[in-house]
Amino acid sequence: MEKISRTKIVDLLKREDFGATVNVKGWVRTRRGSKQVNFIALNDGSTINNVQVVVDLASFSEDLLKDVTTGACVSINGILTESVGSGQKAEIQASDIELLGACDNTYPLQKKGHTLEFLREIAHLRPRTNTFGAVFRIRHNMAMAIHTYFHQKGFFYFHTPIITASDCEGAGQMFQVTTKNLYDLKKDETGSIIYDDDFFGKQASLTVSGQLEGELAATALGAIYTFGPTFRAENSNTPRHLAEFWMIEPEVAFNDITDNMDLAEDFIKYCVRWALDNCSDDIKFLNDMFDKGLIERLQSVLKESFVRLPYTEGINILEAAVANGRKFEFPVYWGVDLASEHERYLVEEHFKRPVILTDYPKEIKAFYMKQNEDGKTVRAMDVLFPKIGEIIGGSERESDYDKLAKRIEELQIPSKDMWWYLDTRKFGTCPHAGFGLGFERLLLFVTGMANIRDVIPFPRTPRNADF
Ligand code: 4AD
Ligand code: MG
């Protein structure tokens, strides 16, 4: 076959130089037609849209065409022509077809209309579907939006370690990293495992958050963000939790809690706007297929300013709702760690727009948050979103050495692990604040998908690490 440089379908469908000779390569979605002419719908992943290839059967051998089945990979040379019936402006009149890879009839994606649950079982093939093609193109676009946003604002992308010896959130949900022989663990007199002879000479884990190291950088470079994988061994089998997820954590010197809220709101709106501007074909597809309210919800988030409300007032609203007969699965009282049903009540039913809840009880938040004068609450902020619940968690940080050291002691966090963190408060401490956005929670919102397993290529959840 004559070598012609390949055009991606996304570019080809925009071309109007009809009559040109072109080459496309991709995977056959469908082939249909009559005895004289066949139509191949070809997709190469560059866009949700297929290009229609018209095949005059008289010019091709039956032997070749019998292998051009759904899922097969082909390279096609042909003439770009104006299309009348394909739903696109351009189509291709095939002059040469090369079979790059045949696809036999055991290919599980031949029929349309598979459930998302079934597609999770074939996660190695699901990127070939329209739905997952759309989701993963949007995922890429959101990553670009995030880097662009922070770069333009003068933040530095800072790489924090994935292997760590400290527990940032103090929730004890860490996966251990070891080269020890698990069948022959040496223990001391008290029964504790000896780690001296382990790879790092101490107990090590996969990080739950890059924040603590991010703070070291923010108090030197001024404004940084991290964007990397984080790991939580929490045994929660929900549509919103993963054991391995990606988090974006900006951290800014001299920001207080209000600056932090302003940044979170501006940042998330920028990402949503980027999706509407750059992923319109994919979002329209997901809107039509899965979630008829998606585009409207994305647009409405851009229009409204987020509600900002202390936790205590949020509890008052929830208690009033309960008094009026609203039923929740979990109880509501001051001090409770809100369940996602509570968060969604505030957002979807009470305020009908995103809510930033602040000043949570210190008992349910991490040790590093700035303590309020009342002695009971900390300067935390959670951004709550429709359909998602918590999408961002953050705070102004405790910058006072004594208060922070006291809190670390109260919570019995081993200070031998924290000396380097405390040093930032000893040497030129400064007010600072930051937050973490769960990348997959953002993607749930932007794609309208209902299960977090469907917005990451290879989800890791309890009892599932396939592919
Ligand atoms: O609220 P979290 O636990 O906060 C932190 O880790 C802070 N160190 C962030 C900071 O201040 N720099 O987690 C932040 C966000 C949550 O709001 C949620 O969006 C997401 O991370 N998240 C998860 N996403 C998927 N699966 C899980 N298991 C998640 N746990 C948290
Ligand atoms: Mg949180």
Pocket lining: 241 vs ligand 1, CB cutoff 6 Å: yes
| Residue to probe by mutation, ligand 1, list 441, 443, 449, 464, most atoms within 8 Å of CB | 441
The residue type of 430 is C
Measuring from atom 31 of ligand 1, which residue has the nearest CA?
438
Token pair belonging to 211: 């924040």
Cα 344 to middle of ligand 1, angstroms:
17
| Residue to probe by mutation, ligand 1, list 230, 245, 451, most atoms within 8 Å of CB | 245
Measuring from atom 6 of ligand 1, which residue has the nearest CA?
209
Pocket lining: 389 vs ligand 1, CB cutoff 6 Å: no
Nearest Cα to 21, choosing from 73, 96, 74, 72?
96
User: pTM (2 decimals)?
Assistant: 0.97
Q: What is the pLDDT of residues 15-66, one digit of tens each?
A: 999 999 999 999 999 999 988 999 999 999 999 999 999 999 999 999 999 9
- Report the distance separating Cα 75 and Cα 246, nearest Å: 36
Cα 342 to middle of ligand 2, angstroms:
14
Ligand 1 atom with the smallest distance to the CA of 232 is 28
Q: What is the pLDDT of residues 69-107, one digit of tens each?
A: 999 999 999 999 999 877 889 999 999 999 999 999 999
Of the ligands numbered here, which is closest to the C-alpha atom of 438? 1
33: left (phi over 0), alpha (psi -120 to 50) or beta: left
Q: How many CB atoms lie within 10 A of CB 350?
A: 18
Q: What is the pLDDT of residues 283-295, one digit of tens each?
A: 999 999 999 999 9
The confidence score (pLDDT) of residue 161 equals 98
Whether 22 and 92 have beta carbons less than 8 Å apart is answered as yes
